[in-house]
Amino acid sequence: MTGLVLVTTIMKNPAINADQIENGGVLTSLAFAQIPYIGPVILTLGIISFAYSTILGWAYYGERCVEYFAGRKGLIPYRLLYCFVAAIAPVVALDIVWTIADILNALMAIPNLVAVLLLSNVIVKETKKYINDLDAKDDTPVPVIKD
């Protein structure tokens, strides 16, 4: 939605020159301000919704990872650390927050890339099996994990 608003605003209002604005946030604010009355409200509600859902999603994803690696005993320390970081993040300089977020996202990519490399033979085997027999029916039972 933001991209659509930016493109249409820049096309309709040539006074807003994207090349002269260094900050994407300023450009987005100017673009949404071109929508009479509700533009800034839509932008504000969108940012709040996105930020809230991101905070919840990262907390949940982190909890599942901690539970996998450390078991249930690691959840309380993780939650305390997460709440502490969430409380101080708004008062830390923005460039530091983005740098830390980029580093943590890169660190999440490392085990995923290693797993893709280690499973590449399995992926090739299963892909060939699938492509060679597209009409086959697989009756093998799906394994179920019981607690």
Indicate if the pLDDT at residue 89 is higher than 80. yes
Sequence-distant (≥ 6) Cβ neighbours of residue 75 within 8 angstroms? 63, 66, 67
Taking only the tens place, the pLDDT of each residue in 71-87 is 999 999 999 999 998 89
Alpha carbons 78 and 50: distance in angstroms, whole number:
23
Alpha carbons 146 and 102: distance in angstroms, whole number:
37
* Phi/psi of residue 55, nearest 5 degrees: -60, -45
Taking only the tens place, the pLDDT of each residue in 10-58 is 788 777 777 777 777 888 888 888 888 998 999 999 999 998 999 999 8
Q: Where are the alpha helices (DSSP H) in 72-145?
A: 75-88, 94-118, 120-132
**Which amino acid makes up residue 132?**
N
Which helix (H) or strand (E) segment holds residue 11: the answer is helix 2-12
Confidence of residue 7 (pLDDT cuts 50, 70, 90): confident
141-147: long-range contacts, CB 8 A cutoff, minimum separation 24: none
**Taking the model in full, what pTM does it have?**
0.60
Give whole-number Cα distances, 71 to 51, 61, 67, in Å.
28, 14, 4
If you search the block for the tokens 């949404």, which residue do you land on?
Answer: 32
